[in-house]
Amino acid sequence: MRLLLGYYEPTTGEILLNGKPLKSYDIEAWRAMCGVVLQDGSLFSGTVAENIAFRTTHLDWQRIEDVCRMVCLHEDIMRMPMKYQTKIGNVGMNLSGGQQQRVLIARALYHNPEILFFDEATSALDAATERAIIENLSEYLQNKTAFIIAHRLSTVRNADKIIVLDKGRIAEAGSHETLVEQKGLYYFLVSNQLELGV
């Protein structure tokens, strides 16, 4: 993920973006086109709204509410003491892990990026909430590119292309249906998660 965002250079080969090496692009302009939710993402001290509209001076209240509805967070916020003005982070109200992840996803969506990077972005959510968010995002993600890193396979099931890594190497690639038919590593992982009820 950090390689694709230009934080590190590959030790071998190169990353191409539209046929050109990533290092030939203005890296800050590239990152501005991206919405990112990292596994270790964090909130800062401020209001819910400020955390979502991060790095903007003008808060678009309708946009904030829209992205919160998309990530199934609006109802939780409406139960908070000051709603969208509730302080969170180090000096404010403590949020559950799932609420924190949904604030981070809302933050990534707020600026309507062309490309999204999700690294275990829904790992703290229960299956029903995750399913609702994925359903809500399906229309939003039309004509956008999303890189989703996930161990919970239901998160990537509807992806155009799934890349299965094994010990840092590509083991398989294809759609959910194709990979299940091949009965390889992906099939094994899906079967195990179904048995466990994940």
* Residue-wise pLDDT tens digits, 3-49: 899 899 889 999 998 899 999 999 999 999 999 998 878 899 999 99
Q: Are 61 and 131 contained in the same domain?
A: yes
Rounded Cα distance between 156 and 162, Å, is 7
- Kindly state the DSSP code that residue 96 receives in the 8-state scheme: -
What's the total number of domains in the chain? 2
Asked if 77 and 50 count as a contact pair (C-beta separation under 8 A), the reply is no
What domain range is 192 assigned to? 160-198
**In terms of domains, do 148 and 172 share one?**
no
Can you tell me the distance from the alpha carbon of 122 to that of 72, in angstroms, rounded to the nearest whole number?
12
Instruction: Tell me the per-residue pLDDT of 163-180, one tens digit each, with 9 for 90 and over.
Output: 999 998 999 999 999 999
Residues 40 and 97 in one domain: yes
Q: Residue 132 and residue 172: Cα distance in Å, rounded?
A: 28
Do 58 and 126 belong to one domain?
A: yes
Q: Which residue's entry shows tokens 């292309």?
A: 161
Q: Are residues 60 and 115 in the same domain?
A: yes
The verdict on residue 86 lying in a domain is yes
What predicted TM-score, i.e. pTM, was given to this entire model? 0.88
C-alpha pair distances (Å), 187 with each of 57, 101, 174, 181, 196: 47, 28, 12, 8, 14
Same domain membership, residue 64 and residue 116: yes
Same domain, residue pair 135 and 165: no
